[in-house]
Amino acid sequence: MTFPSCGCKKQEGFSSQECPDLLVQKNDRLLMYFTNQPKEEGKNPLPFFSLDDYINYLEIQRNKGIKCPVLYLRQENDAQGNDIYRMRPSPFELQGGLPSSSDILPKDHEIVKYLDASRDNGPYNQNNYPGFDPQNMFVGVYTDLDQVHDSTQVTTKSDNAMDANWGGVEHTNTMIESGKYEENTITRPVLSTPKSSFYPSIPSNFENPIDVL
């Protein structure tokens, strides 16, 4: 009677207890916790006094084939000045899991006309700023007002100080002095136009008016 044998080499793995699963940042120090193991000074939590130390630790672990999912908590202050721990993707990405650019709206989205009762009485209310929308009727839709706002973000430098690509104070002043916004210039209103007459027989220091036909 013969028995089959296997000449395969046994590969030893590591248990979940050997995997760190919690990384906490307090000020400039990182603490790596093994929550399945008892606490031991200098080992659990494992301290990292700089981000470079943590990167070096990750490289050593990955060279050994160890890749552990770790929950990252960062100590921050809330609006009331209290110390809280906020979950972040990693010490290298602190955007709270949000991408750097949002693709929620498709590129070929439908443009909805912005309805505003405060500008719906022409010709008296033309070219006014949009009124306040207390009911939030346009949340989640792409309006023509959004299109105007996004048009300033296509260029390298924007004249609008509210855009992320704002060119700065000198750039905005240069655009204003170039006459780009001349049609938006506000002047003092002329409340009355006095009637006057010209008599050529009366001596005057001014030249006679020229009739343009």
Q: Which domain covers residue 48, as residue numbers?
A: 17-88
Decide if pLDDT at 98 tops 80: no
3 state SS of 47? strand
Name which residue leads in pLDDT, 100 or 194.
194
Residue 70 makes CB contacts below 8 A (sequence gap 6+) with: 20, 21, 22, 23, 32
Calculate mean pLDDT across residues 133-147: 80
Residue 4: its pLDDT value, please?
A: 41
- Does the residue 126 lie in any domain? yes
Reference 97, options 89, 106, 87, 105; nearest CA is: 89
- Does the residue 117 lie in any domain? yes
Residue 95: its pLDDT value, please?
A: 67
- Does the residue 8 lie in any domain? no
Model confidence at 148, pLDDT cuts 50, 70, 90, reads confident
Q: Indicate the pTM of the whole model.
A: 0.38
Decide if pLDDT at 195 tops 60: yes
Residue 107: its pLDDT value, please?
A: 58
Residue 106: its pLDDT value, please?
A: 52
Burial of 25 (0-12, 13-18, 19+ CB in 10 A): buried
The count of structural domains within the chain is 2
- Does the residue 131 lie in any domain? yes
Give CA separation, 187 vs 176, 182, 183, 190, 194, in Å: 15, 11, 11, 9, 19
Mean pLDDT taken over the chain: 77
User: Are residues 118 and 78 part of one domain?
Assistant: no
- Does the residue 43 lie in any domain? yes
